[in-house]
Amino acid sequence: MESTLVKFSGIEKSYPGKVVLSGVNFEIQKGSVHGFLGPNGAGKSTLMNILLGEIENDKGEINFTEESSIGYLPEHPPLYMNMKVWEYLCFVQDIYDSTDRDFLNGVIEKCGLQEVRNRMIGHLSKGYKQRVGLAQAICHKPDLLVLDEPMVGLDPHAIIQMKELISELSKEHTIFVSSHQLHELSQICDQISILHQGVIVQDGTIEEIEKSLNQQQVVEVEFENKIGELLGDISALDDLSYSVIEGNRYRFKSQSENDLRSTLGRFFLEKNIAVLSQREVKMDLEEIFRTATKENV
């Protein structure tokens, strides 16, 4: 059963002549991977800095339901390039008054750093440096892991590895992650919150937000043959409209609450129209983001 780990209530922050955050309300569920999205200038960095205690908010509260420690991976990891990986992680662990080197060995293994543990950080690839940054964020066993753009600048292979690592870490940590890599984020997040002009404009699972933003059903159908006049007066069914994508592929749309797939299936059967494939089209995270921020301009 889900339980709240962090609750943001009415968070406000202003600077002279500019309101950055205006009544931000949402929750981070314990054990979840919570995506935090917003266009540049939306206030994401400000809210994350408030969460981390770097700056103070003007109004509102951030409440933890239990005593929790935080691990943080900033967009540019705080690495010492002239230190070796193991030396650096021991140094970070010492800052937290921890000497559990057995645990640190586990962190090295979990983050895939075994082969480079004795190498100079400055000589590592971008992907390995990012893993070292993630390792320093978890070396003190934090309850909440805050990741700011963890996949920025990585090549496709390194992005896949980072997603897998985040998914693995979510078994032991609650993760709050900000990223512009929307497609990648959609594959690992349980919940998302979209911040726009200082307020949360959408909050929930991707499926819940997609449903709230997209009131129409969309189904793509590929027919065996050219259908020409066979569609007839299909547009009269459930306020339905259609368009040709290419060749024998069509896209059908309806505002009706009835299942569009069933409606189409019955119609095609009655008209003896052969169908090769039929699939419901859902909004992806990129489309959700564009729609949510556009509707709240």
Question: Is the predicted pLDDT of residue 252 greater than 50, yes or no?
Answer: yes
Question: Is the predicted pLDDT of residue 82 greater than 70, yes or no?
Answer: yes
Same domain, 143 and 262: no
The number of distinct structural domains making up the chain is 2
Question: For residue 230, what is the DSSP state?
Answer: G
C-alpha distances in Å from residue 167, one per residue of 100, 136, 177, 258: 24, 17, 12, 36
Among candidate residues 50, 54, 1, 64, the one with its CA nearest the CA of residue 21: 50
Banded pLDDT at 244 (limits 50, 70, 90) = confident
Same domain, 162 and 190: yes
As a whole number of Å, the end-to-end CA separation of the chain is: 36
CATH of the domain at 251: 3.30.70.1560
Same domain, 76 and 186: yes
Under 8 Å between Cβ of 200 and 37: no
Please state the rounded mean pLDDT for residues 267-286: 85
Question: Is the predicted pLDDT of residue 2 greater than 90, yes or no?
Answer: no
Same domain, 202 and 248: no
Same domain, 253 and 202: no
Q: Does 163 map to a domain?
A: yes
Q: pLDDT value at position 9?
A: 96
CATH of the domain at 116: 3.40.50.300
Which tens digit of pLDDT belongs to each residue from 153-167? 889 999 999 999 999
Same domain, 81 and 12: yes
pTM of the complete model: 0.79
Counting residues of the chain whose pLDDT is more than 90, the rounded percentage is 58
Per mean pLDDT, which range of 60-64, 171-175, 227-231 is the poorest?
227-231
Last residue of a domain, one of 151, 176, 211: 211
Under 8 Å between Cβ of 77 and 162: no
Same domain, 18 and 154: yes
Please state the rounded mean pLDDT for residues 10-22: 94
Last residue of a domain, one of 211, 226, 258: 211
Q: pLDDT value at position 120?
A: 97
Q: Does 249 map to a domain?
A: yes
Counting residues of the chain whose pLDDT is more than 70, the rounded percentage is 96
Please state the rounded mean pLDDT for residues 187-206: 91
In terms of residue numbers, what domain contains 241? Answer: 213-285
Helical residues (DSSP H) of 235-296, grouped into ranges? 260-270, 285-295
Same domain, 221 and 251: yes
Mean pLDDT of the chain: 89
Per mean pLDDT, which range of 63-67, 97-101, 231-235, 269-273 is the poorest?
231-235
Under 8 Å between Cβ of 120 and 83: yes
Which tens digit of pLDDT belongs to each residue from 169-193? 999 999 999 988 788 788 899 999 9
